Structure 1
């Protein structure tokens, strides 16, 4: 197992003396990879999705990030996220391990298939059940309160928060959290047949988003920064504890690396060109 984690893991990088790597990819160099071993698992931390200052979601170098994990032969990936809570049970600072995803829009971001033949990613279930169990177990081991399930609504490509109507629709759909960055990272990783899981921290709640204009912006920003900082530290503890107690269950049980075999191509593959 080789694990890639998208996380600014300040404490683990320092305490475990992870080394900084520069990985050259077909989509440009990635110089913020920190590599080492965590409880016997080769682990690579991608220190943030974007280099330098914060950038809009549509400018994140998703292809370069995934190509860096390709170059490092990463087969398992954990994505960490900052989100908004939609379900009224989620408050600012809460942690959520989503079990499914809704993504109705996204960029024209793609990567060439690893085997030279295009096929759609198999995403049922959306997130690797083995990695989800690892995170849930890590949360329980550390006594960290988390919502152990939830649907993430990917709201990609808009430089604004959600409208009242959109929040109402999400709530009716049973959505628990909303964010802008899970896809296309999720899709690109699954196209590479990577085992993928997500964990998120909510910086605000359903009520906060609906009434943001009534809040003191400085108070809101300070609260959000604290939630993010606390969330990152919790992510580190959960991941480390999960790896420390992961056991010997083979990841193949989850079916995340399922591909078409034999003479009959599965429903997720594209049609041969000579039939079009």
Structure 2
């Protein structure tokens, strides 16, 4: 058994969580630079919690400039076992309306200006992201959202775009034709990095708009988004309050192997590994190195 620490990465509109015992903001240094902000730690119903505002308090980071590697490393370094990513998104489905939540279980990554791996020259690794989210953790989020009275959809494909601009109408229609359900700008490479760090990862997408495909909502209006964001943030906090009782103080190894993703991933021979890179991987991959 391992001591549970639930780490929440808060997206647009969610910059803090309430009700933590012994709450304090703390700085975490990483070999990958500074994370988006200090990290709020404490306990909720006896379970260790950590909260990191993805864009920083005051929303200072764009989707492209979020320090994704530093964020995941910092959470791993603090002892996180389970990462809940909460983010705003647009919807490609009439049934997934603004104000609804979607428990994402797959991605199409269309980002192109971000560092996407902890590994590289000097220590090559290939992890599987065939199933990029943790079903156990996603189920806990789904149950907690339902218990909080939130309209929530279980399963959906998230199209990750670079941004910061929203989609053209042609792009929106194309992504919809691909079978995507929601669109956002931040879950990639976050989900890939969480897998490399052997962290269980679940994505909770909070719908704010219909992107630009919908004939009655053919342009994304930032004021409408902000209005929906405020309501979604309150719902997210209600969902998060239900997670400690569902995940427990201690946890067994992940039945889906998220916490053992590196066991067969390393390719570089030990005598050929770059010592400098190895030192940077101390938190992310220390278990196997």
State the secondary structure of the residue aligned to 2:172.
helix
- Distance in 1, matches of 2:244 and 2:62, equals 32
Q: How does 1:176-215 map to 2 (within 5 A)?
A: 176-205=181-210, 206-207=213-214, 211-212=218-219
**TM-superposition CA deviations, 1:197-238 (whole Å, max 9, x none):** 11011111142796218xxxxxx4332112111111211211
User: Does structure 2 conserve the Cα–Cα contact (< 8 Å) formed by 1:195 and 1:256?
Assistant: yes
| Shift, 1:84, TM fit | 0.7
- Distance in 2, matches of 1:55 and 1:137, equals 31
| Shift, 1:126, TM fit | 1.3
Alignment root-mean-square deviation, CA: 2.8
| 2:260 aligned with 1:258 | yes
- Distance in 1, matches of 2:216 and 2:29, equals 40
TM-score (ref. length: structure 2):
0.79
**TM-superposition CA deviations, 1:44-81 (whole Å, max 9, x none):** 00133335444321111212212211320212111111
- Distance in 2, matches of 1:159 and 1:260, equals 32
State the secondary structure of the residue aligned to 1:57.
coil
| 2:80 aligned with 1:77 | no
| Aligned equivalent of 1:236 | 237
Q: Equivalent of 2:177, from 160, 172, 175?
A: 172
Unpaired runs of 5+ residues, structure 2, are 272-289
User: Judging changes above 3 Å, is the alpha-carbon distance between structure 1 residues 208 and 194 closer, same or farther for their aligned structure 2 residues?
Assistant: farther
| Shift, 1:40, TM fit | 2.5
| Structure with higher helix content | 1
- Distance in 1, matches of 2:176 and 2:60, equals 29
| Aligned equivalent of 1:216 | none
| Aligned equivalent of 1:25 | 30
Q: How does 1:21-170 map to 2 (within 5 A)?
A: 21-30=26-35, 31-50=37-56, 52-110=58-116, 112-113=118-119, 117-156=123-162, 158-170=163-175
**TM-superposition CA deviations, 1:100-132 (whole Å, max 9, x none):** 11113333415545xx84312222321101100
User: Judging changes above 3 Å, is the alpha-carbon distance between structure 1 residues 144 and 121 closer, same or farther for their aligned structure 2 residues?
Assistant: same
State the secondary structure of the residue aligned to 1:58.
coil
Unpaired runs of 5+ residues, structure 1, are 214-219
User: Does structure 1 conserve the Cα–Cα contact (< 8 Å) formed by 2:34 and 2:67?
Assistant: no
| Aligned equivalent of 1:227 | 228
TM-score (ref. length: structure 1):
0.83
User: Judging changes above 3 Å, is the alpha-carbon distance between structure 1 residues 11 and 108 closer, same or farther for their aligned structure 2 residues?
Assistant: closer
User: Judging changes above 3 Å, is the alpha-carbon distance between structure 1 residues 155 and 55 closer, same or farther for their aligned structure 2 residues?
Assistant: same
- Distance in 2, matches of 1:188 and 1:76, equals 13
